Amino acid sequence: MIKNALLSLKKNIGKTILLFVIIVVITNLVIAGLSIQSATQKSMDQIRSSLGNDVTLSVDFRNMMKNREPGEAVSNETSLTTTMADSLKDLKYVESYNYQISTSADSDSISAVETESDNSNNQQDTNKPNDQSEQASNQGDFTISANTTMEYLDSFTNSNYTLTDGRLLTSDDANTNNCVIETNLASDNDLSVGDTFTITTTVNDETIIQELTIVGIYEIQTTNEIGGAHFNNPVNTIYTDLSVGQTLTGSSENITSAIYYLDDPENAEAFVKLAKKQSDIDFDTFSLDANNRLYQQNASSLESMQSFAKMFVWIVVIAGSAILCLILALTIRNRYYEIGVLLSLGQSKVKIIAQQLIEIGLIAVVAFVISLGTGQLTSHYMGNMLESSSSSNVMQMDQKGDQPNDNQQKTNKQTKENFLGNMMQGPSNQELDVSITGENVVQLAGVTAAICIVSIAVPAAYVLRLTPRQILSRKEG
Amino acid sequence: MEKLLELENVSYSYQDGKEKNKILEHASYSFGKGKIYAVVGASGSGKTTTLSLSSGLDKPDERKVLFKGKDIQEIGLNKYRREDISIVFQSYNLIYYMNALENVMSALEIAGIKRKDKKEYCLSILEQLGLSKDECKRDIRQLSGGQQQRVAIARAIAREVDLILCDEPTGNLDEKNSLDIMNTFLDLAHIHHKCVILVTHSPTLAKMCDVSLRIKEGKIEAKR
């Protein structure tokens, strides 16, 4: 069969070249589409990964504002509870979690660090980390950030804050009065690890006094975070165990937010879906934020590029198959003769189709190999073309649009912006990485094989439905 | 006479628009080995249909065609054509992208005949039929009609089957070539004990055959 296929290809050299050129064009376009698709997917995955693997459950004040009647006050009574948060902590994808209470407190035993801008109403708060409070319930001198654990706090994991002495709080510190403070606060008040001090707050006209023991001292690395009013100044942030926050707010049930750390950032959407399906939480009142807004802002252009590439591949595959089918259908008229002869000799229909498949397969294999080289050029050309057409809005961070909408907004937003900015806008990354991957090669092989099979099967089915006598009687026509 | 091929009350018709044209109607005949049969009749009488049904290129509407006592549809029409018969056509039906030798050899390959000396065997048949070695390797389209028909006959002979069916095998040939080809068929029947069935318009060739059959009003009648 292979020998016959080669003989046929050699004898019909004109048709062979025509089919070869068409298949080269199709495979080049397909590989360009596939590589753009995988490049955009890769970039989208990078964006998703860069946004972290955390999903935050909190009160959706934005939605509550949207749904209120004009003039109606938004209730401050709505609170997230540990019961609600617990309902999600054992779901699939969740590796660990942190419950957080943000509040503020005063102190008679220590003084807050003062800055020149304390009295000015500046805008520094947009740079504030979210593992501190932006929404202190009563604006004392100190921000209290009470957590189940400090292990995963963004400010520490991304090294914006570094531990200079002692240790961070972990789940082993549950129900203790241990705390971690900033180095300036410590030095101003002549405090070190092992020292104790007290903070006070007022709940329902009742003054609560809480003694805290320092187990760790941290330093803020990014200078532009330092500033703001007392409670807004990150140097005046005191990290405590969740139980301290519950004592200071007078509620053992309410928390400000719950952050779930997933096994993989790409599972964020799946986790949100699962949570909405399996929990009783009212998601009109509470939101599960996987940084989708930030993701959408950055990935929307990539998504449209990806859907274009997907559509492009489909169009090329369908149009390519149709063109090949048409050419083979037109040329199969010349093959009536051959098919009739082979059938009269007793050759099976399967073997007749197989020979034709081998013929087009041999052409496709050569075209495929060539396309692996030329496809790279086509991919780059198409990638550049698509990028330049959407470069004005692709991957640009809308800084204004990223203003935190609540106290769960990502606190290391700036870092991420920088990362995304670098990734998308840096000179070395201005082009999509449209290099052909192993997966692309496998996909292209599959697509090419499918096109060949369809383009042979359709005309062959048309001929082979006839009896050998009918085919032989038509060959003259 | 040993029955090789039997047409058993075979009927065949085809649809022409709204009309149904009956070609064969309960036609019966038995063919034996060692004889050459001529099938004659007016155009459209059913000569080629008889050959197509006998060769398994088409199926009868009613009843059956038996080969060595077995319904050829039970044998499997493809298998029957591949292993039990050879067909020679008026237009030679050679595969155009193969040379003479490759055409003969491919017929053996399709029939699943495995011989170590396949090439020499096929060459010897072609040479016996008057083709030179050079002609055997020439582009098939560069051979004359007579030579092409000899290649087709070589292809039929090489398969070593008992039944050879020929549809106007000399229709495109001059008188000399026709007689040469006819003599080859006579040898195949009388010397090699094959059953040769020949559809022809030529009364001269029909007279040379052992039995002359006429298709008339859907029936097969033996003239001689």
Task: Note whether B84 and B4 are within 8 A (CB).
Answer: no
Instruction: State the pLDDT at residue A401.
Output: 35
Please give the angle made by the CA atoms of A52, A58 and A64, to the nearest 5 degrees: 125
* Residue A59 CB-density burial (10 A; 0-12 exposed, 13-18 middle, 19+ buried): buried
Neighbouring C-beta atoms of residue A241, cutoff 10 Å: 26
ipTM: 0.87
Calculate how close chain A gets to B60, using CA atoms only, in Å.
12
Chain B partners within 8 Å of A476 (Cβ): 91
Instruction: State the pLDDT at residue A228.
Output: 53
Cβ contact, residue pair A337, B93, below 8 Å: yes
**Identity of the residue in A4, A341, A347 whose CB atom sits nearest the CB atom of B93:** A341
**Identity of the residue in B58, B79, B95 whose CB atom sits nearest the CB atom of A467:** B58
pLDDT at A131 over 80: no
Share of chain B above pLDDT 70, in %: 99
B192 vs A39 pLDDT, higher one: B192
Chain B partners within 8 Å of A4 (Cβ): 95, 98, 106
Interstrand relation of B195-199 and B163-167 (parallel, antiparallel or unpaired): parallel
Cβ contact, residue pair A467, B59, below 8 Å: yes
pTM above the 0.80 mark? no
**Residue type at A345 in one-letter notation:** L
User: Which is nearest to B153 in space by CA: B133, B176, B183, B175?
Assistant: B183
Q: Name the token pair of B82.
A: 């591949």
Chain A partners within 8 Å of B83 (Cβ): 346
Cα distance between residue A46 and residue A39, in whole Å: 10
Cα distance between residue B119 and residue B106, in whole Å: 10
Chain A partners within 8 Å of B98 (Cβ): 4, 7
Share of chain A above pLDDT 90, in %: 22
Chain B partners within 8 Å of A337 (Cβ): 93, 96
> Which segment of A259-263, A375-379, B68-72, B189-193 scores lowest on mean pLDDT?
A375-379
**Identity of the residue in A12, A338, A472 whose CB atom sits nearest the CB atom of B57:** A472
**Residue type at A21 in one-letter notation:** V
Cβ contact, residue pair B57, A476, below 8 Å: no
**Identity of the residue in B79, B89, B96 whose CB atom sits nearest the CB atom of A346:** B79
Q: Which residues of A touch B (CB under 8 A)?
A: 4, 7-8, 10-12, 337-338, 340-349, 467-469, 472, 476
- Candidates B55, B57, B80, B168: best to mutate against A (most CBs of A within 10 A) is B57
Instruction: State the pLDDT at residue A416.
Output: 39
**Identity of the residue in A340, A346, A476 whose CB atom sits nearest the CB atom of B110:** A346
Cα dist from A464 to A205, B64, B76, whole Å: 93, 23, 16
Cβ contact, residue pair A472, B94, below 8 Å: no
Chain B partners within 8 Å of A347 (Cβ): 78, 82, 110
- Candidates B55, B67, B77, B95: best to mutate against A (most CBs of A within 10 A) is B95
Q: Name the token pair of A215.
A: 């187990």
Q: Convert chain A into a string of H (helix), E (strand) and C (coil).
A: CHHHHHHHHHHCHHHHHHHHHHHHHHHHHHHHHHHHHHHHHHHHHHHHHHCCCEEEEEECHHHHHHHCCCCCCCCCCCCEEHHHHHHHHCCCCEEEEEEEEEEEEECCCCCCCCCHHHHCCCCHHHHCCCCCCCCCCCCCCEEEEEECCCCCCHHHHCCCEEEEEECCCCHHHCCCCEEEEEHHHHHHCCCCCCCEEEEEEEECCEEEEEEEEEEEEEEECCHHHCCCCHHHCHHHEEEEEHHHHHHHHCCCCEECEEEEEECCHHHHHHHHHHHHHHCCCCCCCEEEECCHHHHHHHHHHHHHHHHHHHHHHHHHHHHHHHHHHHHHHHHHHHHHHHHHHHHHCCCCHHHHHHHHHHHHHHHHHHHHHHHHHHHHHHHHHHHHHHHHHHCCCCCCCCCHHHCCCCCCCCCCHHHHHHHHHHHHHCHHHCCCCCCCCHHHHHHHHHHHHHHHHHHHHHHHHHHHCCCHHHHHHHCCC
Interstrand relation of B195-199 and B36-40 (parallel, antiparallel or unpaired): parallel
Cβ contact, residue pair B81, A10, below 8 Å: no
Task: Note whether B131 and B103 are within 8 A (CB).
Answer: no
- Residues near A466 by Cβ (< 8 Å), separated by ≥ 6? A474
A68 vs A173 pLDDT, higher one: A173
Instruction: State the pLDDT at residue A231.
Output: 54
**Identity of the residue in A345, A349, A476 whose CB atom sits nearest the CB atom of B82:** A345
Neighbouring C-beta atoms of residue A400, cutoff 10 Å: 7
The angle, 0 to 180 degrees and rounded to 10, between the axes of the packed helices A349-390 and A13-50 is 50
Chain B partners within 8 Å of A468 (Cβ): 57-58, 81
> Which segment of A330-339, A359-368, B114-123 scores lowest on mean pLDDT?
A330-339
Instruction: State the pLDDT at residue A122.
Output: 43
Cα distance between residue A249 and residue A245, in whole Å: 6
Q: Which residue of B has its CA nearest to A340?
A: B93
Cβ contact, residue pair B58, A476, below 8 Å: no
Cα distance between residue B53 and residue B29, in whole Å: 12
> Which segment of A58-72, A130-144, A366-380, A403-417 scores lowest on mean pLDDT?
A403-417
Size of the A and B interface in Cβ pairs below 8 Å: 64
Chain B partners within 8 Å of A467 (Cβ): 57-59
User: Which is nearest to B192 in space by CA: B180, B200, B184, B204?
Assistant: B184
pLDDT tens figures, A416-435:
334 334 333 333 334 566 67
pLDDT tens figures, A383-414:
777 666 655 444 444 333 333 333 333 433 43
